[in-house]
Amino acid sequence: MSDWKTARQVVDEAYAALFERGDLEGFLNDFDENSTLIEADSLPYGGTFRGKDTIRTAIQRVFGYWKDFAYTIENIVYGEEYVIAYGRFSATSVKSDRKLDIPLAEAWRVCEGRVAFVHPIYSDTKLALDVLG
């Protein structure tokens, strides 16, 4: 038996840090130089970001576009390394002050207690772009 946190524990702790406490550093606690964040290329903050520092900067960039974030998780399925969270993403555009509320899934892979990747899968990136203005 290892001393590593389970994949589900890592994801639960990350979500609690970001969405309950607004703690970006707590969210990034189990990320490292090998972690990857994949955001939809069609979004202005899209791309593939590797390493904890680069991911921190990418998330801060997302915060430059959206305020009043919420991710209401409706269901989580998980295995030894993979976690899929499904729910609703809501936020307000900083530029247009319009609100977005769409289904969102996030796929996570956690290896030996460290985040290998997280990939938000937006249900409607066109709507997100329209709301961003």
Task: Convert the pLDDT of each residue in 48-105 to its tens digit.
Answer: 999 999 999 999 999 999 999 899 999 999 999 999 999 999 999 999 999 999 999 9
Task: Give Cα separations from 21 to 6, 13, 25, 29, 107 (angstroms).
Answer: 21, 11, 11, 14, 22
CATH match of 7-132 with 3.30.1300.10: no
Kindly state the helix (H) or strand (E) to which residue 131 belongs, with its residue range.
Answer: helix 125-132
Q: Virtual CA dihedral for 3, 118, 65, 90, nearest 10 degrees?
A: -90
75: left (phi over 0), alpha (psi -120 to 50) or beta: beta
What is the pLDDT averaged over residues 116-130? 97
pLDDT for res 79: 96
pTM of the predicted structure, to 2 decimals: 0.93
Q: What are the extents of the domains in the chain?
A: 7-132
Tell me: pLDDT of 1 over 60.
no
pLDDT of 131 over the 70 cut: yes
Give the pLDDT band (50/70/90) at residue 3: confident
Q: What is the pLDDT of residues 8-58, one digit of tens each?
A: 999 999 999 999 999 999 999 999 999 999 999 999 999 999 999 999 999
